């Protein structure tokens, strides 16, 4: 199973004295469960009848030909099963998106659909596929772009009301009769990205060397930058935010001398 990786993408300090509150935006990228992706395939076109696991590529298409009222073309849709990411402590979900690439072939653009379904099991069964296709937790209308790369926003509402789920299944297809081939090779398969907003309280900004104590090491940092301008103000050894390391910053160190609270 492939798990998520976390990348902090921005920080914003909101206080310069004592406890500092940091607003941090954290992006969690989730890859699909290994082996649990492939085609939902319908040999008779109208009713999908089995799951075809596979790597390499996922082909999506919808039938458009009938003869005497019967479907005579196949139908296929891509499906991926993702582990539900663990919400960072104190995190608020901001957005969800699905991104990936297609091969440069026919059917690169046009309307499409994403179906989202929550699950507790780490495998795709026929019964579960039937549930996804007939009663998904979320249906998202999308437009495939005219370039191979794609990035689709997924409404966060169902995720906020189902925070205890273990897995997320996503079905993607293009209702038109043309084919769309999605790259499903290792490292290139579609991923889900969750962006959270969290608040981090930094209790001891005077601890410049990060050893948990305001002491001689932090005093040395102040003296090492003494008299220098700091850009942006309030960063590094400029503890009072006036843009220069001076006596005010030394006072900050001496006032908070000792172990951080």
Q: Name the DSSP letter for residue 135.
A: S
Q: Please, which pLDDT band fits residue 19 given cuts at 50, 70 and 90?
A: very low
> Candidates 2.30.30.90, 3.90.280.10, 1.10.1330.10, 1.10.3720.10; correct CATH number of 205-261?
1.10.1330.10
pLDDT at residue 1, rounded to an integer: 36
pLDDT at residue 222, rounded to an integer: 93
Where is pLDDT greater, at 56 or 108? 56
Length of the chain: 261
pLDDT at residue 17, rounded to an integer: 36
Q: Please, which pLDDT band fits residue 145 given cuts at 50, 70 and 90?
A: confident
Q: What is the pTM of this model?
A: 0.68
Q: Please, which pLDDT band fits residue 141 given cuts at 50, 70 and 90?
A: very high
Where is pLDDT greater, at 195 or 260? 195
pLDDT at residue 217, rounded to an integer: 92
Per-residue HEC secondary structure of 203-236 comes to: CCCCCCCCCCEECHHHHHHHHHCCCCECCCCCCC
pLDDT at residue 68, rounded to an integer: 64
Q: What is the mean pLDDT of the chain?
A: 80
- Give CA angle at 128 (125, 131), nearest 5°: 155
Segments making up each domain of the chain, as ranges: 32-81+101-185, 205-261
pLDDT at residue 16, rounded to an integer: 34
Rounded-to-integer distance, Cα 256 and Cα 261, Å: 10
Cβ contacts of 30 within 8 Å, gap of 6 or more:
3, 4, 82, 83, 85, 191, 192, 193, 194
Q: Give the highest mean pLDDT range of 26-35, 103-112, 159-168, 200-209.
A: 26-35
Instruction: State pLDDT tens for residues 77-134.
Output: 889 999 999 888 878 899 999 999 988 765 567 888 899 999 999 998 878 888 888 8
Q: Position of tokens 């999506």?
A: 60
Q: Please, which pLDDT band fits residue 8 given cuts at 50, 70 and 90?
A: very low
CB 236 within 8 A of CB 224: no
**Within 13 A of 77's CA, how many CA atoms are on the CB side?**
28
Secondary structure class of 112 (helix, strand, coil): strand
Q: How many other CB atoms are found less than 10 A from the CB of residue 46?
A: 12
Please report, in angstroms and rounded to a whole number, the separation of the first and last CA atoms in the chain.
40
Check pLDDT > 80 for residue 193. Answer: yes
Residues 99, 102, 106, 109, Cα dihedral to 10° = 10
């Amino acid at each position: 199973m492939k798990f998520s990786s976390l990348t902090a993408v921005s920080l914003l300090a909101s206080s310069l004295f004592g406890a500092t509150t940091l607003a941090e935006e954290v992006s969690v990228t989730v890859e699909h469960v290994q082996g649990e992706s492939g085609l939902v395939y319908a040999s008779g076109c109208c009713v999908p009848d089995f799951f075809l696991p596979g790597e390499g590529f996922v082909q999506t298409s919808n039938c458009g030909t009938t003869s005497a009222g019967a479907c005579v073309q196949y139908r296929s849709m891509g499906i991926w099963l993702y582990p539900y990411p663990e919400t960072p402590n104190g995190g608020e979900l901001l957005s969800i998106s699905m991104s990936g690439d297609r091969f440069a072939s026919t059917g690169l653009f046009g309307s499409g659909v994403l179906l989202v379904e929550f699950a507790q099991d780490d495998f795709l069964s026929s019964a579960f596929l039937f549930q996804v296709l007939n009663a998904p937790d979320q249906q998202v209308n999308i437009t495939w772009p005219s370039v191979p790369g794609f990035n689709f926003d997924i409404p966060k509402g169902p995720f906020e009301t189902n925070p205890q789920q273990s897995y997320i299944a996503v079905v993607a297809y293009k209702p038109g009769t043309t084919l769309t081939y999605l790259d499903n090779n290792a490292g290139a398969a579609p991923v889900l990205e969750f962006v959270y907003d969290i608040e981090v309280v930094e209790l001891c900004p005077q601890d410049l060397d990060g050893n948990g104590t305001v002491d001689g090491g932090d005093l040395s940092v102040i003296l090492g930058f003494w008299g220098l301008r700091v850009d942006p103000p309030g960063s590094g050894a400029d503890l009072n935010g006036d843009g220069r390391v001076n006596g005010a910053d030394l006072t900050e160190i001496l006032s908070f001398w000792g172990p951080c609270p």
